[in-house]
Structure 1
Amino acid sequence: MSGLNALLDAVQAEQLEGRESVLATVVKVEGSAYRRPGARMLVSQYGRPQGTISGGCLENDVARKAWWLSESGPVIRSYSTAEALDEEGGEESLGFGLGCNGKVYVLFERIPARKSCTLLDALRNVRSRQRPAAIATIIACCRNSRADVGDRVFLESGSAPHGGLYHPALTERITDDLRLTLDRQKSSLQHYAEGCTEVDVFLEYVAPAPRLVIFGAGHDAQPLVRMAKLLGWHVSVIDSRPHFARQERFPEADFVTCASINQRFEFRELVDGAFVAVMSHSLSQDAYWLKGVLQSNPRYIGQLGPRDRTERLLDGITREVNSQPARSKLFYPIGLDIGGDTPEIVAMSVLGEIQAVMNGRTGASLKLRELKIHESYQLEPGR
């Protein structure tokens, strides 16, 4: 989401100046590629491009040609990442000799200077409302189709679908698959045939920024906040010590508060669906925060400290409460085994483990990986 935040800010800056821009979006990948479908890059008229759609290999060509490619409307351009030039030839295929043996399909479209843009509205809603969306984009169609490249259907969580095609039956089928996309939280490519209309559609799942809740506002929480914000996450910091829980100590954080541990745990809604790090270095605080989080519904809980310390905490919590529905989400000691003990290394270790859990990875070296790089399996908690 970090790239999306910066991209939306760049679009807003261009529109405030009354300038058009071009949005380049990866909509399909064949074989190996650095970025996956959904990666975006904004090409402005005068400023530097914002975002990336590859590892830096394609961006120069995209920036040079974005304007004339999109002058007649949305268009798809394919880029070969194979070692040799693409065999198909033609203006829709470019060879870059990268040796990755893949092909990247990029959608180019103009962003109006001042008029509303439904795509940007949907992306902004994801950011502001912290709710996911699913977006269907036509990326190929037959000659007689009642649809064009770049046509879209939108479905935002908790809202009715909007947008659509000049083909009600096809729109209904796509909308049904958008609901599945929201349920599965995963993007996909689909082919539809309805009468004389055939289209290829990119069904994109757009997730809100991951939420990180840190219980503990010590010195080691500061680099964790900075690094998480660099990734574009939404970060909250909570501590019972007023001299620690101060906004000026965490200027990048979205929410900082001081809360007593002598009252009912009041952050269940905040931690539901969030990634949680308990790291106050205080036995009484950690016991209180961990007990409250274990009775909530987070996606991940990491407890800082030695294994035997956490197990003593858990023994005490179990004597107080029987219900701990989030126990299976608990990781301790928190973080990946990368060595080092500085606050910055600890922060990198913690964020690495959270990222692995978020994406169904093990956190191990890619050298040891048996599956392809973009396939996933689950990292088991409760070590």
Structure 2
Amino acid sequence: MRDYQMREVTSAIKSWQKQGKAIAIATIVKVEGTPLRPLGSKMVVTSDKQIAGSITGGCIEGGIYEEAQTVIKSCQPKLLHFGLLNDESPWEIGLSCGSSIDVFIEPLDSPVWKEIYPVLETSLSKNQLMAIGTILSGAKLGSKLVVWPNGDVHGSLGSQVLDKQAVEWMKQQLLVQGSSSMTFDEAGAQVEVFVDVITTPARLVIVGAVHIAIPLVSMAKILGFHTIVIDPRSAFATRERFPHVDELVTEWPSTALEKLRPDECTYIAVLSHDDKLDNPALQVALASPARYVGILGTHKNIPKRLNELRDLGVTEEQLSRLHAPIGLKLGAIQPEEIALSVLAEIVAAKHGLSKIQENPVKSTFSH
């Protein structure tokens, strides 16, 4: 589950708990067909008809709400199936899209959640990547195990043998940052475990506090990005111009990027259109494992920029990663339109669709 989605849910939980409300949390643990929402998507429900989060965007939320009331009253978790199978169960007709999903509903008043929830809140506050394993079948239904990339573990699935198997698999899921299910054998019994990987916030680093950057920050915040604007020109990099940005850095871009240590969850948009700012920043960005690097420009001036980067020692392999000119081809003219095209390309890269638009660097300048 994405960090910003979990934060939406935990924010509601925190408010409701202060009011003493009973709460159930519903999680998508299995999907067949084309999902409306990804694995790990959550919805929280109170006994007095309040809802936060989303499972499908509307088509089965009513059914989940009703089942959540039962879970709250019984304080027992429940696994439900929603789909279009030939079955007389009313939950088999919940989805009209041809897909099917399994939803696990749990009471937050259960001993398991009372133990795990403070740990979850602490990890979220520290922006830590984590994986939460939950048993979906058998006598230990609902038992949880939390694993962090450094190998730390909290909780238990009920036995040392199962914990050992699950921890190794959960570490692999942390590497790929993907939620999934796995069935383990324990003393001859099949035990299904769902692992929900809570990712760290994706970072959007913008080099250049230019006009385009203003709407780009606002749009990116809506999508849950942690936004950083870098520009040594303090007259441009101001809170008045960027009231919504998470971080304003008034340092030389290449120096600031080195300090930020871009990783696989970092997306870099170089927008200043000033060679002395852009080129050193691109040199650092392209040498990093950043998931996306793009630069503002035109097809006419990109060849000159690429040759300048080559002179700085940037390799052809590194240049092949550069999205130049930045953004999808939307015919954008206004700053807000250009920002939209940039963010659209970043979202495509985030979901593994970076080749949605032909990369002119690869097609024209690769050797």
Question: Is residue 174 from structure 1 mapped to residue 171 from structure 2 by the alignment?
Answer: no
Please state how far the C-alpha of 1:43 moved relative to its aligned partner: 1.0
Q: Which residue number in structure 2 is paired with residue 136 of structure 1?
A: 133
Q: Mark the CA change 1:172 to 1:255 in structure 2 (over 3 Å): closer, same or farther.
A: same
Q: Mark the CA change 1:298 to 1:137 in structure 2 (over 3 Å): closer, same or farther.
A: same
Q: Are the counterparts in 2 of residues 122 and 156 from structure 1 also a CA contact under 8 Å?
A: no
- Consecutive unaligned residues of structure 2, counting only runs of 5 or more, are none
Q: Mapping of 1:303-342 within 5 angstroms?
A: 303-321=295-313, 326-342=318-334
The amino acid of 1:345's aligned partner reads E
The amino acid of 1:312's aligned partner reads K
Q: Are the counterparts in 2 of residues 185 and 205 from structure 1 also a CA contact under 8 Å?
A: yes
The amino acid of 1:111's aligned partner reads L
Question: Is residue 76 from structure 1 mapped to residue 79 from structure 2 by the alignment?
Answer: yes
Q: Mark the CA change 1:380 to 1:272 in structure 2 (over 3 Å): closer, same or farther.
A: farther
Helix, strand or coil at the partner of 1:307: coil
Tell me how far apart the structure 2 counterparts of residues 245 and 68 of structure 1 sit (CA, whole Å): 53
Helix, strand or coil at the partner of 2:255: coil
Show CA shifts across 1:8-60 (max 9, x none): 21111112223231111111122333112200011134463111100211112
Show CA shifts across 1:303-349 (max 9, x none): 01113423322322322335687434311111111222222222221
Among all aligned residue pairs of Structure 1 and Structure 2, give the percentage whose two residues are the same amino acid. 30
Q: TM-score, normalised to structure 2's length?
A: 0.88
Question: Is residue 109 from structure 1 mapped to residue 106 from structure 2 by the alignment?
Answer: yes
Q: Which residue number in structure 1 is paired with residue 352 of structure 2?
A: 360
Q: Which residue number in structure 1 is paired with residue 156 of structure 2?
A: 164
Question: Is residue 268 from structure 1 mapped to residue 270 from structure 2 by the alignment?
Answer: no
Helix, strand or coil at the partner of 1:137: strand
Q: Are the counterparts in 1 of residues 143 and 158 from structure 2 also a CA contact under 8 Å?
A: no
Q: Are the counterparts in 2 of residues 127 and 209 from structure 1 also a CA contact under 8 Å?
A: no
Farther off after superposition, 241-250 or 119-128: 119-128
Please state how far the C-alpha of 1:122 moved relative to its aligned partner: 4.8
Q: Mapping of 1:1-383 within 5 angstroms?
A: 1=2, 2-46=4-48, 48-72=50-74, 73-80=76-83, 82=84, 86-90=85-89, 93-96=91-94, 98-112=95-109, 117-141=114-138, 147-260=139-252, 265-273=255-263, 274-321=266-313, 326-362=318-354, 364=356, 382=362
Q: TM-score, normalised to structure 1's length?
A: 0.84
Tell me how far apart the structure 1 counterparts of residues 359 and 306 of structure 2 sit (CA, whole Å): 21
Runs of 4 or more off by more than 4 Å in structure 1?
113-116, 322-326, 362-365, 378-383
Tell me how far apart the structure 2 counterparts of residues 222 and 117 of structure 1 sit (CA, whole Å): 42
Q: Are the counterparts in 2 of residues 15 and 114 from structure 1 also a CA contact under 8 Å?
A: no
Q: Are the counterparts in 1 of residues 146 and 153 from structure 2 also a CA contact under 8 Å?
A: yes
The amino acid of 1:120's aligned partner reads Y
The amino acid of 1:87's aligned partner reads N
Larger helix share, 1 or 2: 2
Q: Are the counterparts in 2 of residues 35 and 54 from structure 1 also a CA contact under 8 Å?
A: yes
Q: Which residue number in structure 2 is paired with residue 374 of structure 1?
A: none
Q: Mark the CA change 1:14 to 1:193 in structure 2 (over 3 Å): closer, same or farther.
A: same
Tell me how far apart the structure 2 counterparts of residues 124 and 33 of structure 1 sit (CA, whole Å): 28
Q: Mark the CA change 1:32 to 1:325 in structure 2 (over 3 Å): closer, same or farther.
A: closer
Count matched residues.
Answer: 358
RMSD of aligned C-alpha atoms? 2.8
Q: Mark the CA change 1:89 to 1:163 in structure 2 (over 3 Å): closer, same or farther.
A: farther
Q: Are the counterparts in 2 of residues 30 and 102 from structure 1 also a CA contact under 8 Å?
A: yes
Q: Are the counterparts in 2 of residues 301 and 330 from structure 1 also a CA contact under 8 Å?
A: yes
Helix, strand or coil at the partner of 1:338: coil
Show CA shifts across 1:137-194 (max 9, x none): 11123xxxxx422111111122412211222111111111111111232222211122
Tell me how far apart the structure 1 counterparts of residues 190 and 37 of structure 2 sit (CA, whole Å): 27
Q: Which residue number in structure 2 is paired with residue 369 of structure 1?
A: none
